[in-house]
Amino acid sequence: MEIAKLVDHEAWSLPAVPHGGCEHGPLDERRRQVDEQMLVTMRAGECLGHGNLARELWWFGTAPLLWTFDRARGMAERGIPKRQVCESWRAPGKWQWRPTGSPATATLNRSEAQPEGKVAIQGARPDDNLTSAHQHGIPDSYRTDLNQTGSEKPHATQCYWGLSLWTILFYKAATYIPTLSRVLVASYGFSRATALGVKWTLWAAYWWWESVALAGWWCLVDTSLSIDIKKATNSVERDENYVPLTRKDYGLPDEKHCQPLDYHEIFEETPIYTLGRMLAMQLLGWQFYLFRNTLGSPQYPPGANHFLPSSPLFKPHERNGIIASNIGLAVMVTLLGIFASNVGFTGFIKFYFIPYLLANHWIVMLTFLHHTDPTLPHYRNKEWTWVRGAFATVDRPLLGPVGRFFLHNVSHDHIAHHIFSNIPFYNQPQVTEILKQLLKDDYNYDSTNTFYALYRSFSECCFIEDDGDIVFYKNRDGKALRTLASASTE
């Protein structure tokens, strides 16, 4: 793999800190800002190795079931230090895609020095030499380099079979749970209370493992497709999901006249109420997004439905696919009805519905944390480019090795997935290692415990300002963890 990098080593500008210094933020002492841009030339085809039998057997035949997930204080990848936050952030320079066949290249241009008091680094405006496809999506030549003729589909098929086998294995094991308590009492002399505790512990284990396996189906589809949802990442106007609400959406006064009481009136709540809202988002957020386009793109009418072929979410040529999808859903609902009639309502809840809800929880958690973080910038049209948006995400060790296996690296290597979405998931760790070498300390990685990170993002990422081409989330006190560096601070 041939990779070349040219970095503008212009240091971060921070108030009251020597040039090139870094002032730690108060919120997350583990992390460090990760937004200095670079020039990358990547020979894509050489990192897209074909799957082989040994790899398939490893992924779906020999993984132990005793892997543990995130420890209470987070889990760091080998050789990756815990990150810290810088409170002042320099706007990245201008990225321009300049396809030159294979390999595809990207060039980074920094603007000239700005007058005192203005943003130090500006740019990333649409350029005359870029077509719409280059500005708002992956360049055609680059996409061609990344496609693997005939290799992804067979591998995806084998992955589906592997997930099916794990799902069936967990289900078959769970069918023995209802009778286990009786056997423990009758044959082994366990007390009823002990047997009951063992039974519900096993039910909890089944729900956890089955939900992770079911979420793996969604992750496999997400890592196998390069779709429009990735073409406007972190664009305030055109992103497809997790679009931040603005000051105006909450009816807040403008920043100059807004008082602390105004913020508290809108955002202040008890921890129990916050937990309740989090549970609602985790268990029902996926359905609200599908039925109401909640936190979806503002370019569509409110309440746009993902199941209506006539929905403005879809282009005319996509409507037949939506109809076919709805037919598939109807068939699945019918099969679930037959299943419920065989196992009873209680059995349906235990065997399917609870794992289904928890699978939605994993999906919402990983996607929310990919794109909602106090350190991630959002761009308006004037400053957005595809590469800027693609780098505005975070790698997290979600569920540790279990997440790598069942969720197909979707969180461990999400930056690589954004930049090279056509690379098979089993090659993404190789790309991540290259990105670590290129970005060094600026590699955007968060080892914070996943559930704490969820609470942090949920409570700290409240809104963005109505104005500004590069904006960060503000919390319930109206303060941003990071601010845009200006020339006057140097």
pLDDT tens digits for range 262-304: 888 888 877 888 888 899 999 998 888 899 888 888 888 888 8
Q: Name which of 13-17, 81-85, 322-326, 454-458 the model is least confident about.
A: 13-17
Q: How far is CA 251 from CA 245, 267, 302, 476, in A?
A: 11, 12, 18, 14
- 348-356-154 Cα angle (round to 5): 115
> Please, what is the average pLDDT of the chain?
70
Q: Identify the CA nearest to 89 among candidates 143, 31, 140.
A: 31
From CA 460, how far away is CA 458, in angstroms rounded? 6
Pinpoint the alpha helices (H) of 316-461.
319-348, 354-371, 386-391, 400-406, 414-419, 428-439, 450-460
CA 42 to chain centre: 24
pLDDT, residue 272, reads 85
The answer, yes or no, to whether residue 139 has pLDDT greater than 90, is no
Share of the chain above pLDDT 90, in %: 24
DSSP state of 94: E
Residue 438: the pLDDT is 84
Q: Beta strand pairing status for 483-484 and 88-89?
A: parallel
- pLDDT per residue over 24-39, tens digit each? 333 333 333 333 333 2
Q: Write out the DSSP string of 174-221.
A: HTTHHHHHHHHHHHH---HHHHHHHHHHHHHHHHHHHHHHHHHHHHHH
Region for residue 132 given its phi and psi (left: phi exceeds 0; alpha: psi -120 to 50; beta: otherwise): alpha
Pull the structure tokens for residue 240: 């497809």
* Maximal CA-CA distance, the chain: 84
What is the structure's pLDDT at 157? 58
- The number of CA neighbours under 13 Å toward the Cβ of 107 is 9
Band (333; pLDDT cuts 50, 70, 90)? very high
CB 229 within 8 A of CB 449: no
Neighbours of 10 (CB within 10 A): 15
CA nearest to 426, candidates 1, 3, 48? 48
Tens of pLDDT, residues 383-428: 888 888 888 889 999 999 999 989 988 899 999 888 887 788 888 8
| The residue count for the chain | 490
Sign of CA dihedral 219, 79, 473, 20: negative
With a cut of 80, say whether residue 154 has pLDDT above it. Answer: no
Of 241, 208, 216, 279, the residue nearest 367 (C-alpha): 241
Q: Which of 10-14, 143-147, 333-337 has the highest mean pLDDT?
A: 333-337
pLDDT at 151 over 50: no
Residue 42 has pLDDT above 50, yes or no: no
Q: Which residues of 42-54 are buried (b: 16+ CB within 10 A; e: fewer)?
A: bebeebbeebeee
Per-residue pLDDT for 119 more than 90?
no
User: Residues 316, 321, 324, 329: is their CA dihedral positive or negative?
Assistant: negative
Q: 377 preceded by cis ω (within 30°)?
A: no
pTM for this predicted structure? 0.69
CB 484 within 8 A of CB 119: yes
pLDDT reported for residue 228: 55
Q: In terms of Cα–Cα distance, which of 43, 47, 46, 57 is closest to 155?
A: 57
Region 436-451: mean pLDDT is 84
CA distances from 134 to 66, 231, 314, 396 (A): 45, 10, 22, 29
Give me the mean pLDDT over the 151-156 stretch.
47
Retrieve residue 435's tokens: 């990105």
Whether residue 53 contacts residue 117, with contact meaning beta carbons closer than 8 Å, is answered with no
